[in-house]
Amino acid sequence: MTGRGRLPGRKILVVGGGQTVHDAATDPVGNGRAMAIVCAREGADVAVADHHLDRAEATVALLEAEPGSGFALRADTREPEEIAAMVETANRRLGGLDGIIYNVGIGIAGLDLAGADPDAWDDVFRVNVRGAMLSVRAAVPHLPPGGSIVLISSIAGLRSGSRLVAYEASKAALAGLLRHAARELGDRDIRVNMVAPGLIDTPNGRRAAAGRPERSTAGLPLRRMGTAWDIAYAALFFLSDESSYITAQTLAVDGGKTGI
């Protein structure tokens, strides 16, 4: 697929742009990798950050065929100083920042209230919520008017059903961060929006679906799982000038699941 020049010369940081490999021969593309590729395809220069540097580097290797360029960097979003260094490095090497995507999330901590482990609960919030806040806060001084922040959430933050109470609560908490950041940054013409994926065919999505009949597509109006490209193009819309009058919004990319 070719791009349409929707992000010419933009400087984008994708946090969580690597990809977990379960089966290299059959794994589909993951959300973070697809977003990095689409940004570069549309003309952006992309900093790809991941906890595992080799995964970020594998994504960057795929950007060589695209109009935009990219480089990889390692950052653990559990660590505030690594988040600050990540943003500073991205800003320096890209020559500025026009947008940031926070695509990091873990879903541990046990099933249901009875199974929720307190320490694992704290780790989920440390990664899913605190890491997002710190990444946004670090990026804000570098973003110009017209800059865009995109948080990647989940429909688990919109409705219950996964039984992963810490994950659901953390993704719901992102909505509070979204609203506050959009209000605070509106005077600077910086937009903050969120994409909430549903059942998406990614490496982690396939593993999560194994043996879980409740993740069936039977009740979806579109009767299929989405792909990481569906998520990537939703994020692209929020990064581009096409959404210049949209902020504080959550777009559920879920085949209609939360709309019926």
Structure tokens at 60: 């960057």
**CA nearest to 22, candidates 164, 226, 202:** 202
Question: For the chain, what is the mean pLDDT?
Answer: 94
pLDDT at 211: 60
pLDDT at 24: 84
pLDDT at 214: 63
Asked if residue 212 has pLDDT above 70, the reply is: no
C-alpha to C-alpha distance for 21 and 251, rounded to whole angstroms: 27
3-state SS, residue 195: strand
Is 102 in contact with 13 (CB distance < 8 Å)? no
Helical residues (DSSP H) of 186-247, grouped into ranges: 203-209, 228-239
3-state SS, residue 101: strand
For the residues 115-122, what does the mean pLDDT come to?
91
Q: How many residues does the chain have?
A: 260
For the residues 132-143, what does the mean pLDDT come to?
98
Domain assignments of the chain as residue spans, ordered by start: 11-259
Structure tokens at 256: 């209609």
Structure tokens at 19: 């990809």
* Residue 213 binned pLDDT confidence (cut-offs 50, 70, 90): low
pLDDT at 21: 86
pLDDT tens, residue by residue, 55-110: 999 999 999 999 999 999 999 999 999 999 999 999 999 999 999 999 999 887 77
- Tell me, what DSSP letter sits at residue 255? T
102 is catalytic: no
Structure tokens at 163: 């039984």
Catalytic residue among 102, 167, 233, 245: 167
pLDDT at 203: 86
pLDDT tens, residue by residue, 7-66: 999 999 999 999 988 888 899 999 999 999 999 999 999 999 999 999 999 999 999 999
> In terms of CATH, what superfamily is 11-259?
NAD(P)-binding Rossmann-like Domain (3.40.50.720)
Residue with tokens 């580097």, as numbered in its chain = 57
pLDDT at 210: 65
pLDDT at 123: 95
Sign, CA torsion 182/246/49/228: positive
C-alpha to C-alpha distance for 11 and 19, rounded to whole angstroms: 21
pLDDT at 228: 97
